[in-house]
Amino acid sequence: MSTAEHFVTKTGTEKTVSLKPADSFVSKFLRFLCSVRFGVTLLVLLGIACFIGMVVMQQNVAGFDRYFAELTPSQRLVYGKLGLFNIYHAWYFNALIAVLSLNIILASIDRFPKTWKFFSRPTITVPLRWLREQNKTAELQITGNVEETRIQVTEAMKKAGWRKVKTAEKNGTTFVLGQRGLWNRFGAYAVHVGLLTIFFGAFLTAQTGTTGQMPLAPGQSTDLIFETVVDLDKASQLTKQLPFTIEGVDIQQRLIKKEGSLSAMNTIDWMTRFTIKDETGTHDAFVQMNKPFDYRGYRFFQASFVPVGRARSITLNAVPAAGGEAQQIVIPRGGSAELPDGTVVVFSEFRGNFRMGNEDPNEDTSEYPNPAAVLQVSRPGGPREAAYAFGAGLSNIPVASKPIGGYTFQLADFEKVSDQHVLAVQRDPGAAVVYVGFLLLVVTLIAVFFFSHQRVWAAITEGPDSTQVLFGGNANRNSSSFEEKFDKFVVAISRFKAPEGERNANERIEKTTGE
Amino acid sequence: MSQQVLHQPVLISTDDAEEPGVLSSLYSYLPAFLAIGGSLILIAVRLNVGGERFMSDGAAMMLALASYLIAAVFYLTNMYAPFRFAEKLGLYAATLGVFFNLSSWLIRWASTYDRELAIFQSQGLGAEDMPWLFRYVPFANLYDLSLAFAFGAGITTLLIMRRTHFQVVAALSLPLAAIILVLARFIGDDIIDLPPVLDSYWRPIHVGIASLSYGTALVCFAVAVLYLLKDGLKVEKMAIWTGLFSLSVFATISKFSIFAPSTFGTYTASTFMGSSRFALGLRADIPYVGWLIVAAAILLLAAMAAHLISIAKNDISARNWGNRILWAALATQAAGISVLVYQLRNLQDVVSNISPKQYPIFGAWMLQQQEMPQAQINALGQQQLYDIANSWIIQNGAGLHLSLNANPVELSALITAFAGTFFIVLFGINTEKIRSLLPGAEVLDGLMYKLAGVTFAGLALLLITGAVWANESWGRYWGWDAKEVGALVAWLTYAGFLHSRIAYGWRGRRSAYFAVVAFLFVIFTYLGVSYLLPGLHSYA
């Protein structure tokens, strides 16, 4: 004897009513855990937690120290105790996501057998009263016997796109079921698999990923990255070692307005060339904005720059002190050039805001108020001497006209670049898994929302003068397009000719619709 | 058996039964085709004829705004006096609105390119040195996003209007699209230099999806409101909810000054300095506006009280009083907005309208701009902050001016509150007739479900494309940035909408409430995050 009975509800969904005695606490709890209701509650809680995280500034956001300083002591205490300043990493937030994942898994397992039935045991024979209550129904009286009508209806269903047709007989009524898009019933599971894959990828990222930043200038070499760790309004740096060494080769900043500053808003692109050295040899690498570079599972991104004005190359006018024509030379950053008389000019340093004495390393000179190049000049066989080449703003100061190595130098032009580019370095084994989840989600969302499982039944009954056919159907989504198709199908059926090829003059359509 | 089967059938003969034709189905898409095709032709003309003499993107945007409003007027009047011709005119105006809306966006794309080309040419470079064309896709700031958002709402409306019985949705969705364009007008159409991090092919994909998803969400919201009306939700209840919304707007604008005891009745507006479009933390008092808003708030409270009594006691007289007071509130809100706009455009002596109370606030703001640590700012006395501000104002006060562009969100919020009151007043007139003219509740519910499904899928794509882009640019696919989280919360709400249908069988009114709340989250993500919360998306 069966312990459960199946009922077909008015809306067409099947209900199983258990006839077992009261369930144990464990089964009640499990049922609660896998219920969609619990899932919706978790979604709401997750939404609330996320919203709190939006409203209460998080400690990793720039400007948090100012926000924190403006809070009252009691706010700091309460928010801090509740973990609201770092809510997305709070234990209860992670627990919420873990329980939601569990709910998704259990709810999917719980509902899968019912969905599988659509495939394994499609409902062909249905109560006529239920059929009449479907979204779309129609009733026809057709000339011809039941078998001929069945064949015609089957053909029409296939022509209409409901290609999977099954027939069965019950209590003298022949039922024909046509359907399409059965796979759509499984779409929700695929969406959930996609979501779980993303959660798993995020878990991998959190557990095995590493991240950090690396300031880099041409000629600099390092195998260290630095991660900034924020704890409320205090920040500290973690140093991590890479399994290879990076050496800067060249950095370049492409500006919109050449005469403008190094600001991000005046920049088209940043480019960094470097080499990677490890046991396999030396490898060239190139990174620019939105074009990262991958090596051995590590990814290098263009992150930011140090706003200290330097020059990627300088163009100098070398004016002989003894008179004569000025020589124009172009020297790259850290490079040198030789004048016709053998004098060597080394470009050793560039300052965006020149002052005598040492440079303030924290000064933002990205506007280049007083640009100057510091040179090392050596005549053939002579010692190296420091020289300066100034832009137009400082050309009148005394040091500008002092000859060094037989020349005075003028800064004719220079290509602006910052002191260092900051690369973000990331190793994230979870990203690939997350991308797989994304792909699954996109494909299944499109499949779920733009296609539907459509079912149409025809109940064929022998009448006194003609064969009566009751049609009914439903779709789990996109009901309007299904309704259009159903109407076309009914019109097509109504135009059937008699089997002998003669149209019956008395053919009538009797139709009701659900609207 | 056959008699049992026949259930009051409608008899139709075979000859009368017409198969819906492919042509007629295609014809129903004609307005959308015309709007999009026309815009493409227009931009082709713009590219070939040249820029300066051609219609600007701002002019096209204003034409779109006018067209949306005209279409809405036709559909609104049609709700009271159905007239086929008005319906047609409404459809033409809506089509024109979408055409101008998209044209404005396309012209802006061309103008952005031309602007940078001129800079390059001034430096001796040519078109061949220009970066790729997608750098200039107008998705660089909130103005661009607003243009596209309104287009998303407009094209979604046009597409659902192909079913004649859904044309009424335009009566609500197009005024909302118009408000988005008004907001764009207030933000200002200055073209900005694109931050390099945004120069990615993911930008048009990600922001394009955002615009269309937001647009669908807006139309879903409009359908939800119409559903609630059709379903018999009392207009008095709607009045109470919109009243609460308006009061929350009044309470929060002007930095909470209107109802604060120390500044009660004072409305202040941000100022601009010279030609800069950066709103200063210095607010000038705008005479009369605060008191008009206080008056509107009192009237709204009185209307809400009357409506509460009418609901509790089923008192028709209280309801009528509530409606009359609501009319007065509407007029007062209109007066407040008019006076505000007039003064923002005409008030000359800004400094004399700056209250001394503003000086220390501005002094602290100035120091914050100089990145002074907050602890140091807090350590300074009020007098010191006052002096800092005072010396700056003495030196620069002559360059201060007011502008409609300085307070875009506040102005738009006031207009939205006005629109809310306006619709409630409108729904209060001949309510039963409007209800009878609306499509069936089940039909509206089905449309709402479909739009929520599309929005859910759109927001999922938005989150995914944003994550992929973030991973390409910043090396992490998720960073809990405020805008990311905002979109996630909106997406979770739509997920809740869809799942509550399965779990609780929630349809109709409960689903409509879900759609309304979800849209509020979308708006919060679109505006609130950009203007109120710091983060990586604060440019748009």
A76 lies within 8 A of chain B by CB: no
Report the pLDDT value the prediction gives residue A291, as an integer from 0 to 100.
87
CB of B120 closer than 8 Å to CB of B130: yes
The secondary element (H helix, E strand) that includes residue A313 is strand A309-320
Mean pLDDT over residues B120-139, rounded? 85
Closest chain B residue to A464, measured at CA: B2
Please report the pLDDT score of residue B21 as a whole number: 61
- Check pLDDT > 80 for residue B533: no
Q: Closest Cα to residue B106, out of B66, B55, B142? A: B55
User: In a mutagenesis test of the A interface, which of B193, B445, B523 is the best target, namely the one with the most A β-carbons within 10 Å?
Assistant: B193
Contacts of B440 in chain A (CB under 8 A): 515
- Tell me how long chain A is: 515
Where are the extended beta strands (E) located within B238-356? 268-270, 272-273, 283-285
Half-sphere exposure of B59 (CA within 13 A, CB side): 7
Q: What is the token pair recorded at B258?
A: 């209107």
Percent of chain B's residues with pLDDT above 70: 93
Residue A393 pLDDT greater than 80, yes or no:
no
Q: What is the pLDDT of residue A21?
A: 55
Residue B540: its pLDDT value, please? Answer: 45
- pLDDT score recorded for residue B539: 45
pLDDT, mean of residues A457-471: 87
Stretch 51-90 of chain B: residues touching chain A, C-beta under 8 Å: none
Identify residue B306 by its one-letter amino acid code: A
Give the type of residue at B521: F
Q: How many Cβ pairs closer than 8 A exist between chain A and B? A: 199
Q: Identify the closest residue of chain A to B471 by CA–CA distance.
A: A431
Region B286-311: mean pLDDT is 96
The Cβ of residue B274 has, within 10 Å, a number of other Cβ atoms equal to 10
The encoded tokens of residue B530 equal: 């950009």
Residue B536 reports pLDDT greater than 70: no
Contacts of A172 in chain B (CB under 8 A): 1
Residue pointed to by tokens 């006839």: A19
Q: What is the pLDDT of residue A7?
A: 38
pLDDT tens per residue, range B443-463: 899 899 889 989 999 999 999
Identify the band that residue B6 occupies on the pLDDT scale cut at 50, 70 and 90.
Answer: very low
Of A63, A270, A445, nearest to B196 by CB-CB distance is: A270
Measured torsion, CA atoms of residues B192, B196, B197, B203, in degrees rounded to the nearest 10: 60
Q: Given this model, what pLDDT does residue B9 score?
A: 33
> Which residues 322-381 of B have a C-beta within 8 angstroms of A?
368, 373-375, 378
Residue A422 in 3-state DSSP?
Answer: strand
pLDDT at residue B15 tops 50? no
**Alpha-helix residue ranges (DSSP H) falling in B408-476:** 408-428, 431-437, 441-473
CB spacing of B12 vs A511 below 8 angstroms: yes
Are the C-beta atoms of residues A90 and A81 closer than 8 Å to each other? Answer: no
Which of A44, A434, A494 minimises the CB distance to B14?
Answer: A494
Strand partners, A509: A140, B12
Q: How many CA atoms lie within 13 A of B96 on its CB side?
A: 18
Q: Which whole number is the average pLDDT over A351-379?
A: 88
Q: In the predicted model, is pLDDT for residue B206 greater than 70?
A: yes
With CA atoms as reference, report the closest residue to A104 among A207, A202, A197.
A197
DSSP A429-487: HHHHHHHHHHHHHHHHHHHHHH---EEEEEEEEE-SSSEEEEEEEEESS-HHHHHHHHH
Interface contact A487-B20, CB threshold 8 A:
yes
Say whether B5 and A461 touch across the interface (CB within 8 A). yes
Q: Mean pLDDT, chain B, as a whole number?
A: 88
Mean pLDDT calculated for residue range A252-267 = 89
Q: Which residue, B159, B193, B221, is CA-closest to B277?
A: B193
Whether residue B380 is predicted with pLDDT greater than 80 in this model: the reply is yes
Mean pLDDT of A21-32: 79
pLDDT given at position B43: 93
Q: B499 — contact with chain A (CB < 8 Å)?
A: yes
For the residues B461-473, what does the mean pLDDT come to? 90
- Does A426 contact B at CB distance below 8 Å? yes
Least confidently predicted of A110-119, A281-290, A430-439, B9-18: B9-18
Average pLDDT over residues B333-359: 93
What per-residue confidence (pLDDT) applies to A246?
96
pLDDT in tens, A133-155: 888 899 888 877 888 889 989 99
Phi, psi of B250 (to 5 degrees): -60, -40
- B262-276: pLDDT as tens digits: 999 999 999 998 888
Lowest mean pLDDT among A119-128, A389-398, B384-393: A389-398
> What mean pLDDT comes out for the span B259-288?
90
DSSP E strand boundaries for A391-434:
407-418, 421-427
Closest Cα to residue A471, out of A129, A113, A138, A118?
A138
- Percentage of chain A beyond pLDDT 70 is 92
| Angle between helix B142-160 and B57-80 (nearest 10) | 40
Q: Which amino acid is at B167?
A: Q
**Backbone phi and psi for residue B322, each to the nearest 5 degrees, phi listed first:** -55, -45
pLDDT at A405: 87
Could you give the CA distance from residue B481 to residue A458 in angstroms, rounded to a whole number? 54
Helix residue spans in A354-453 (DSSP H): 429-450
Residue pair A178/A158 in contact (Cβ under 8 Å)? The answer is yes
How many whole angstroms separate alpha carbon A240 and alpha carbon B443? 60
- A4 pLDDT above the threshold of 50: no
pLDDT of A221 strictly over 50:
yes
A62 and chain B in contact, CB less than 8 A: yes
Q: How confident is the model at residue B418 (pLDDT cuts 50, 70, 90)?
A: very high
Q: How many Å apart are CA B131 and CA B137, to the nearest integer?
A: 12
Query: pLDDT tens digits for A305-318?
Result: 998 999 999 999 99
Task: Give me the residues of A, 126-185, that contact B with CB < 8 A.
Answer: 128, 132, 139, 141, 172
CA-based max dimension of chain A: 126
Q: How confident is the model at residue A470 (pLDDT cuts 50, 70, 90)?
A: very high
pLDDT tops 50 at residue B189: yes
Which residues of chain B are within 8 Å of residue A63 when distances are taken between CB atoms?
534
The confidence score (pLDDT) of residue A356 equals 78
More confident residue, B420 or A463: B420
- Residue A507 has a pLDDT of 38
Residue B130 forms contact with A (CB below 8 Å): no
